[in-house]
Amino acid sequence: MCVLIICEVDASHCCHADGAAVTFVAPTNGLRVEAESEMAVLRYVSHPNVVIDPNVPVPQWGLSDLGRSRAHSLLDQPWIDSVRRIVASAETKAQHTAEILATFLDLEIETRPLTGETDRSATGFVPHDRHEELAARYFAQPTMSADGWERSIDSQRRIVDATVDLFDQAQTSDIVIVGHGGVGTLLYAHIARLKIDQRHDQPGQGHYWAFDIADQTVLHPWRAVDDIEPNVQ
d(CA 132, CA 130): 5
The pLDDT, as a whole number, for residue 39 is 84
Q: What angle do the packed helices 65-73 and 92-105 form, to 10 degrees?
A: 40
Domain ranges for the chain? 2-37, 41-224
Query: Phi, psi at residue 173, to the nearest 5°?
Result: -130, 155
Statement: residue 13 has pLDDT above 60: no
CA distance 13 to 6: 11
pLDDT tens digit sequence for 14-69: 443 333 333 323 333 443 333 334 689 999 999 999 999 999 999 999 999 999 99
Q: Looking at the predicted structure, is the pLDDT value of residue 145 above 50?
A: yes
Q: What rounded mean pLDDT belongs to the chain?
A: 87
- Find the range with the poorest average confidence among 145-154, 190-199, 223-232: 223-232
The most distant pair of C-alpha atoms in the chain lies apart, rounded to whole Å, by 74
Contact 176, 41 (CB under 8 A): no
Closest C-alpha to 181, from 85, 72, 50, 1: 50
Strand order in the sheet with 2-8: 2-8, 31-37, 27-28
User: How many CB atoms are located within 10 Å of the residue 13 CB?
Assistant: 9
| Stated pTM of the model | 0.83
CATH architecture of the region 41-224? 3-Layer(aba) Sandwich (3.40)
The pLDDT tens digits of the residues spanning 58-101 come to 999 999 999 999 999 999 999 999 999 999 999 999 999 999 99
118 touches 152 (CB < 8 A): yes
- In this structure, what DSSP letter does residue 64 have? -
Taking alpha carbons only, the member of 212, 214, 232, 211 closest to residue 223 is: 211
* pLDDT, tens digit (0-9, with 9 covering 90-100), for 160-195: 999 999 999 999 999 999 999 999 999 999 999 999
Q: Given this model, what pLDDT does residue 25 score?
A: 34
Residue 87: name the closest of 176, 185, 2, 4 by CA.
176
Burial of 124 by CB count in 10 Å (0-12 exposed, 13-18 middle, 19+ buried)?
Answer: exposed
pLDDT of residue 231: 76
Checking DSSP bridges between strand 27-28 and strand 41-46, what pairing results, if any? unpaired
What does the DSSP 8-state code read for residue 161?
Answer: H
